[in-house]
Amino acid sequence: MKNVLTAVAATLALNVIATDVPVSGNVQMRCLITTDIPGVYGNPLPQKLSTAVADGGVLPVVRYDITLADSYKAKITTPTSFSSSPALIDTVTWTGSTAVAQTSDAGMSGYEAAKVTYDATTEYDLTVAGSTWFSATLSATNGYDKAFPGGVYSAVLVAECIAK
C-alpha cells in the first residue's frame, strides 16, 4: 500500500508545472519633492513668530528624492511675507535659514558646506542619488517691541528642484 501511495505522489509531483512570472519595472530619472512636515510657527514673544523648536515651533521639512546623480539643484526659498495675516501696521523683519537635516548616503555629507545662499534662497547641488531632508528655521519679528495682533498667520516656503 505504501509503495502505491509513493508512486501516486511521485506522479503528481511530476505533473506540477513551474511557470516563471516576469515582473518588470522602469525607474525613470526624476526628482521628487515630498513635504514631510509643513511646519508651525511658535509665538515665544508677543512680537515674534518662529519655527524654532526652542520657540515652541515645528521646523518645516522637505525631502528631495533623486534617482540620477549630479542632475539637479535644490533651491529652497524662505518666506519674506505672510500669505495671510491680520492687518499689520508695522514693518516685519524676516529671517530664514535652511540646513540639511538628514541624508540617505554618506556621500551627501558635503552638501551643507557647499550650499550657496543669496537673499532668502539657499541652493544645494544634488550630486549624489538618494534622499536628502532639508529643514528651515523661519522667524518673523514685528516692529520694535510691538506685539503681533491676534489672528491666524501663515507663510509659504518654496522648494524647487531644477534640472541641471
Partner 1 sequence: MNNSGVTILICVAFFIAGLVLTVDAKAHEMTPTYPKFESSFISGIQKTKMRLFNRRSDVSYYEIGVFDSEWEPVPFVTTYKIMKMDYLETVSFDLYINTKDLSNSTYICSKSKLIKSDVISTGIASRICSKIK
Binding site for partner 1 (CB under 8 A): 28-36, 38-41, 51, 60, 62, 65, 68, 71-72, 79, 83-84, 138, 152-164
Compute how many other C-beta atoms are within 10 angstroms of the C-beta atom of residue 36: 14
Considering beta carbons, is residue 9 or 33 the nearer one to partner 1? 33
Q: How far is the CB of 8 from partner 1 (least distance, A)?
A: 44
Q: How far is the CB of 22 from partner 1 (least distance, A)?
A: 24
Q: How far is the CB of 101 from partner 1 (least distance, A)?
A: 14
Q: Which of 164, 139, 163, 132 is nearest to 153 (CA)?
A: 139
Considering beta carbons, is residue 56 or 107 the nearer one to partner 1? 56
Q: Which of 142, 139, 146, 163 is nearest to 73 (CA)?
A: 163
Q: How far is the CB of 65 from partner 1 (least distance, A)?
A: 8
CA 133 from centroid of its chain's CA atoms: 5
Considering beta carbons, is residue 8 or 38 the nearer one to partner 1? 38
Alpha-carbon distance 100 to 125, whole Å? Answer: 12
DSSP 3-state assignment of 109?
A: helix
Considering beta carbons, is residue 41 or 111 the nearer one to partner 1? 41
> Among all chains, which residue has been given the C-alpha cell 522648494?
159
